[in-house]
Amino acid sequence: MALSNIPVDQNATLHTFRPVQNAVSCVVLGIVFLVGLPGNALVIWIILRHIKTKSPTIQLILHLAFADFIVLITLPLWIHSLVNGWVYGELFCKTATFLIFCSLYASLFFITLVSVKRLMAALYPFATHGFIGKAIISIWVSAFLIAIYSLIIQKLENRNGQLKCVTSYSSGQQQIVICLFKLLVGFVVPFTTLLVCYTIVFKRIKQMTFQTRGKSEKLIIGVVVTFVLCWSPYQITNIITISSLMIESSNSEFALTLKNIVETMDIVTGTLVFISSCSNPILYAFAARRFKAGFKILSFAKLFEYINRPSEELQNPGRDNGNEKKFLHTESSGNVELLPQGVVDENSIDVFKGKLNRYMREKGIEGYA
C-alpha cells in the first residue's frame, strides 16, 4: 500500500517536509474514516434491510460498499503508524496490507463490472443477467489471488528510529515487475474497459429517442470518475518508479530526482486511494437529495429502489404513475408500447417480448428473436 511505504528521507528538504505531510495526512484520513466507515455501513444496511429483490446493479453496489468498508476499517492502524510507527508485529503488517490490496482490487473490479453491465443493458436490453452472481464470486477470488504478492514485499523495517510497515523489494528487477503488474491490472485493463464501455453506451443512448434513466446513469458515472481521479496519482507514481529504475544505470542523477518525486507524493497518493473508498456514500447522499423524504435514510432507500428497477434501461424516469404507458419510437416502425411503469417482473418482460414479436411480424420486420 502506498501509504504504508514511507521511504527513508533522501535530503534535508524531504526530512523537513515529511512531518507536515504526515500531520495533514492523519487529519484527512481521520475525516475519511469518520465519514466513510459509517457511510458504507449505512449503504450495506439499507440494501440488505430495505431492498428485497436485488437487481445486478444493486448487488454490485452492495459488494462495492463491503469492499470499501474493509479498507476503511484498517485506517486507524495506518494513522497510528504514521505518528508512532508500526507496533503490531510483522504478521499483522502483512495481513492488514493484504486485506487492503484485496479489497481495493475488488472495488476496482466491481466498478469495471458495473460498466460492462451498463454496456450489456444498452446493447441487449432484454437479456438476463444471471452471470452477475458468478462474476461477483470470481471478482473476490481474483482480488484475493492478485493481492498475494503484497505478502511477499510487505515487511517491517527500522526507518528514522521507528519500525515501519513498508514495501521492500529484493531487487530493482522485482520492483519493475510488480509495478508493471499493478499498473496493468490496476489501471490499464480496467480503465480501458471503462472507457470502451461508456463510449459505446453514450453512442447508443444518442441513437435512442426515448428518455433513459438519467439519475442512475449520472450516479454510476460519478462513482467511476471519482475512482479514476483518486487512483490516477497512485498509478502515475508507479510509472515514475518504473522510469527511474530503467534509467538508473545510464542517468543516475535524473533517476534520483524521480525517486525523490515519488517519495514526496507517496503519502498523498496513498491518502487519495483511501478517499476513493469514502467517496461513494457521499455521492449517494447527493443523489438521494432528489428524493423527498422526511428521514435521510428513507431518501437513501428510495434512491436504491430507483436504481434497483430491472427495467431501468427501458423506463422513462418521469411520474410514478402505475398506469402510465411508455413508448419506444423507431423511425421505420412508429411507436411500440412498452411496459407499464412499475411492472418489472420476468413474466412481464416475456409478455412484452411476445407483443414486440407480433408487432414486428405484422410490420414485416425480421431479425428479432
Q: Tens digits of per-residue pLDDT, 241-255?
A: 999 999 888 888 888
The torsion angles phi and psi of 327, rounded to 5 degrees, stand at -130, 140
pLDDT of residue 341: 39
Whole-structure pTM value: 0.73
Name the DSSP class of 152: H
Assigned C-alpha cell, 18 = 515529511
- 12 compared with 206, residue with greater pLDDT: 206
The DSSP bridge pattern shows strands 327-330 and 334-337 to be antiparallel
Domain contains 337: no
Q: What is the pLDDT of residues 8-44, one digit of tens each?
A: 333 333 333 467 777 888 899 999 999 999 989 988 8
pLDDT of residue 365: 55
Average pLDDT of the chain is 75
- 2 compared with 366, residue with greater pLDDT: 366
Domain contains 366: no
Instruction: Classify residue 168 as left (phi > 0), alpha (psi -120 to 50) or beta.
Output: beta
Domain contains 108: yes
- 345 compared with 28, residue with greater pLDDT: 28
Domain contains 367: no
Residues facing 328 on adjacent strands: 336
Residue appearing with cell numbers 460519478: 222
Question: Do residues 5 and 166 make contact, with C-beta atoms less than 8 angstroms apart?
Answer: yes
pLDDT band at 2 (very low <50, low <70, confident <90, very high): very low
pLDDT of residue 144: 96
pLDDT of residue 41: 92
Domain contains 359: no
Question: Do residues 227 and 274 make contact, with C-beta atoms less than 8 angstroms apart?
Answer: no
Question: Do residues 140 and 106 make contact, with C-beta atoms less than 8 angstroms apart?
Answer: yes
pLDDT of residue 260: 87
How many structural domains are present in the chain? 1
How large is the greatest C-alpha to C-alpha distance in the chain, in angstroms?
82
pLDDT of residue 56: 79
Question: Do residues 317 and 327 make contact, with C-beta atoms less than 8 angstroms apart?
Answer: no
Q: What is the pLDDT of residues 264-295, one digit of tens each?
A: 888 888 888 888 888 877 776 666 555 444 44
Share of the chain above pLDDT 90, in %: 27
pLDDT of residue 185: 93
pLDDT of residue 176: 93
pLDDT of residue 305: 58
Domain CATH for 94: 1.20.1070.10
pLDDT above 70 for 214? no
CA pair distance 187, 13, nearest whole angstrom = 31
Q: Which of the listed ranges 10-14, 51-55, 335-339 does the model predict with the highest average pLDDT?
A: 51-55
Residues contacting 39, CB < 8 A, separation 6+: 278, 280, 281, 282, 285
Q: What is the pLDDT of residues 79-102, one digit of tens each?
A: 998 888 899 999 999 999 999 999
Mean pLDDT of 225-233: 85
Domain contains 30: yes
Domain contains 363: no
Closest-CA residue to 75 (of 4, 159, 155): 4
Domain contains 333: no
Containing domain of residue 243, as a range?
20-125+132-207+214-311
